[in-house]
């Protein structure tokens, strides 16, 4: 049983489990936040800066770090190469964890791996963390605010929470441009799924109309798994809620990101922001 005991939260967890069981390899080989060199370099730089802050603020020999919903280790593979970090990756998908384990095999690095639902791990965590990272994760959690509050309770004094690659609430032309960007991605990388996706959409409309439950193969697990991708996250409200949990905002950046240069350019020309990244730090009690 997950720590957050709500039917909807559990339903989204289950959709994530099914979705990544079906698509783990595809995720690893096509997802922009994993394969785009510029995005990777930006993530590496952010992580190095944050680990630098950790080392400035504290006098410990080793800092404990959690890659929460770490998947195939986009973040953990970078952290395990940095000195004086004791890294844990937690994810509920065994398929993605297996990819991570293959990536670090034979590299002479150490990482604890926990195959568990994140709110459960945070509520049972045996230690306080100096840094907890959520990369492309919040929008997969129905109640991301409750999960971040659990994470805040697991932070050591002066510890950090870093979140990246989550959508804000898209305004004006951003929604249309992001849809076109996604459609292009689907056509180029998942072309075999285009006809099944259309079938699923028609099936969904028909079942909605007849008020029946959709058959399992008509469900779009990806759409359910990325629960907040369409409506986006209210990042300002989230920051306010976290500041009430004794966290200070070190940075809150809104960014313009698309999978393809042309759509990113269009977004920039229209002055649209699409994503946000947050760095929060725990004040000592």
Ligand X SMILES: C[S@@+](CC[C@H](N)C(=O)[O-])C[C@H]1O[C@@H](n2cnc3c(N)ncnc32)[C@H](O)[C@@H]1O
Contact residues toward ligand X (CB under 6 A) are 13, 16, 20, 33-34, 69-71, 74-75, 91-93, 96, 117-118, 135-137, 140-141
Q: What's the closest the beta carbon of residue 15 comes to ligand X, in angstroms?
A: 9
The answer to whether 275 and 135 have CB atoms below 8 angstroms apart is no
Q: What's the closest the beta carbon of residue 209 comes to ligand X, in angstroms?
A: 31
The answer to whether 191 and 162 have CB atoms below 8 angstroms apart is no
140 or 282: CB nearest ligand X: 140
Q: What's the closest the beta carbon of residue 207 comes to ligand X, in angstroms?
A: 25
Q: Residue number with the shortest CB distance to ligand X? A: 71
Q: What's the closest the beta carbon of residue 108 comes to ligand X, in angstroms?
A: 23
70 or 232: CB nearest ligand X: 70
Q: What's the closest the beta carbon of residue 10 comes to ligand X, in angstroms?
A: 9
Write a three-state SS string for the chain: CCCCCCHHHHHHHHHHHHHHHHHHHHHHHHCHHHHCHHHHHHHHHHHHHHHHHHHHHCCCCCEEEEEECCCCCCCHHHHCCCCCEEEEEECCCHHHHHHHHHHHCCCCCCCEEECCCHHHHHHHCCCCEEEEEEECCHHHCCCHHHHHHHHHHCEEEEEEEEEEEEEECCCCCHHHHHHHHHHHHHHHHCHHHHHHHHHHHHHHHHHHHHCCCCCHHHCCHHHHHCCCCCCCECHHHHHHHHHCCCEEEEEEEEECCCCCHHHHHHHHHCCCCCEEEEEEEECCC
Q: What's the closest the beta carbon of residue 210 comes to ligand X, in angstroms?
A: 31
224 or 246: CB nearest ligand X: 224
166 or 266: CB nearest ligand X: 166
Q: What's the closest the beta carbon of residue 146 comes to ligand X, in angstroms?
A: 11
Nearest to 90, CA basis, from 68, 73, 75: 68
9 or 63: CB nearest ligand X: 9
79 or 137: CB nearest ligand X: 137
34 or 151: CB nearest ligand X: 34
């Amino acid at each position: 049983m997950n720590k957050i005991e709500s039917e909807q939260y559990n339903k989204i967890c289950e959709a994530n489990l099914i979705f990544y069981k079906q698509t783990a390899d595809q995720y690893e080989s096509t997802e922009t936040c994993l394969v785009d060199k510029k995005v990777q370099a930006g993530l590496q730089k952010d992580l190095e800066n944050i680990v630098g802050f950790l080392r400035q603020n504290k006098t410990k020999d080793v800092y404990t770090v959690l890659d929460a919903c770490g998947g195939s280790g986009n973040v953990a593979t970078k952290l395990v190469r940095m000195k004086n970090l004791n890294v844990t990756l937690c994810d509920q998908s065994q398929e993605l964890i297996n990819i991570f384990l293959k990536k670090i095999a034979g590299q002479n690095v150490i990482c604890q791996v926990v195959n568990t639902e994140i709110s459960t791990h945070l509520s049972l965590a045996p230690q306080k963390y100096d840094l907890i990272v959520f990369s492309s994760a919040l929008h997969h959690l129905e109640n991301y605010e409750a999960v971040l509050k659990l994470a805040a309770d697991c932070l050591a004094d002066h510890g950090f929470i870093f979140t990246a690659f989550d959508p804000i609430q898209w305004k004006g032309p951003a929604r249309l441009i992001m849809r076109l960007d996604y459609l292009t991605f689907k056509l180029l990388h998942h072309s075999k799924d285009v006809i099944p996706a259309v079938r699923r959409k028609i099936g969904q409309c028909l079942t909605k109309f007849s008020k029946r439950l959709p058959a399992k193969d008509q469900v779009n697990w990806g759409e359910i798994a990325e629960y907040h991708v369409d409506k986006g996250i209210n990042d300002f409200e989230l920051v306010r809620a976290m500041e009430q949990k004794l966290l200070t905002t070190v940075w809150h950046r809104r960014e313009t990101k698309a999978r393809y240069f042309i759509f990113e350019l269009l977004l920039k020309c229209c002055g649209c922001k699409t994503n946000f990244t947050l760095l929060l730090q725990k004040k000592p009690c």
